[in-house]
Amino acid sequence: MLVAFGRRLLQRGAVVGLSSVLDDLQRGAHNPALVGMVCETQYRSGNWDELREWLNRGTTSGPLAPAFAALGDGDFDAARMADEAAGGPLRFCLRLGARDPQAIPVLLQSGMADWKLVSFPTGLGDAAWDYAACIVHADDFVAGSVVLERKARILDAVGAMCRSGQKVPAAATTSGALRVLAFHETDTARPILRKLDFNAVFSTIGARMLQEFGKSFEAVASQLQPNFPELVSGMRTLLKGSSAIPGNAVIADPKFTREFAGLVAQMAASGSEAAARCVLNTLAGTHPDWIEPAGHALTRAFPGEIPSKLGWWSSVDKYLANGGRQARSRRPLDGYAILSLADEAGSFVEALSAYAEIVDHHSDRAQDFIAIAAAFQGWRRWLTSMLSPTA
């Protein structure tokens, strides 16, 4: 059985099983050091409802209460030490708050609206970036000049860090925070956007995404032409050369993706607000930081194999002929693999919406996925609202 089904057993059952084991250990042994493992498992597995319930209890009493009390005082070193004593759950609680609108009221009950912030919370370590993204997200739900001032302070601090040439910690990227902050920065020089690793963002490029980008690029090309003729010429040549690629293909040729990423980086650094919005609009089509929780929740949402015939993106795997992708496509894919492929094709939004429509809304096992899909739609509206002409 392990030889035949071991891989699928681990893919489909390990995350849920580990969550159950840790939950039992937490109740039975009352070991505060396990809190971090529990929160991480709940977040990554897409059990966000359980994490919200735990957060509702844990901000005022329990192992994480000292960390939240320290955040209220603006003592980030004390918050980090309290977090470490609990096994590091803070970043996943804050990461939830940076994405799930339902988590914001829970965090506000902990006194989040009054958290003191004088400078960027470097003392929190890696969790500082989740804190920054969470504050920016939460502050859009709370009115008041103090709140707006705190949001501006974070954006100014991160912008100064990016302008200085200082290396941005890996946690800024892996948490998805730097990407979110790039949508909200008000500095017309766009230092945060320029700091993004476009080579990593565009390591693969969906042909459909490229076609949509081409339309947006042509709308701003005339503004870029006087000062950046080589950029406009290079991008037009690249787009023209890829025009014959099928819309449901994914481009993984390193030479092509690096050239495209380099041209996009030039657009971000051009100083043109229209060009920056064109880049951000393209970034809004891919969401790597949502794949893991949504993917595992999708796996649990269906009692058997997950349907794959949902749209043009469903067969994207066969277009990635390098490595073992073709062999992998012959096996049933779990939710994580399906959403990963959809994101590579630039169709994560469409994939999530399609599955949210066909899943059994009366099934208990589907509720996590339904909730995450709804959270994503709300979060994406919030994110892309910054791209409106009046933003």
State the Cα–Cα distance between residues 248 and 19, nearest whole angstrom. 36
Alpha-carbon distance 66 to 150, whole Å? 22
- Residue 184 CA from chain centroid, whole number: 15
Q: What is the distance between the alpha carbons of residues 135 and 139, in angstroms, rounded to a whole number?
A: 6
Report pLDDT digits (tens) over 80-107.
999 998 889 999 999 999 999 889 888 8
Instruction: Check the CA dihedral 14-15-16-19 and report its sign.
Output: positive
User: Mean per-residue pLDDT for 263-267?
Assistant: 96
pTM: 0.83
Q: CA separation (Å) from 133 to 2, 93, 109, 130, 138?
A: 42, 12, 18, 5, 9
| Residue in the structure block whose two tokens are 């250990």 | 25
Taking only the tens place, the pLDDT of each residue in 128-142 is 999 999 988 887 777
Task: Count CA atoms closer than 13 A to 80's CA, side-chain side.
Answer: 14
pLDDT of residue 149: 79
CB 296 within 8 A of CB 339: no
Count of H helices and E strands in the chain? Answer: 22, 2
pLDDT digits (tens, 9 = 90+) for 289-319: 899 999 999 999 988 888 766 554 444 343 3
Q: Are 194 and 265 in contact (CB under 8 A)?
A: yes
Q: How far apart are CA 59 and CA 52, in angstroms?
A: 11
DSSP per-residue codes, 168-189: PPHHHHHTSHHHHHHHH---TT
Q: What is the pLDDT of residues 157-203, one digit of tens each?
A: 999 999 998 888 999 998 899 999 999 998 989 999 999 999 999 98
Torsion of CA 20, 23, 29, 30, to 10 degrees: 170
- Which tens digits make up the pLDDT trace of 49-70? 989 988 887 777 777 888 988 9
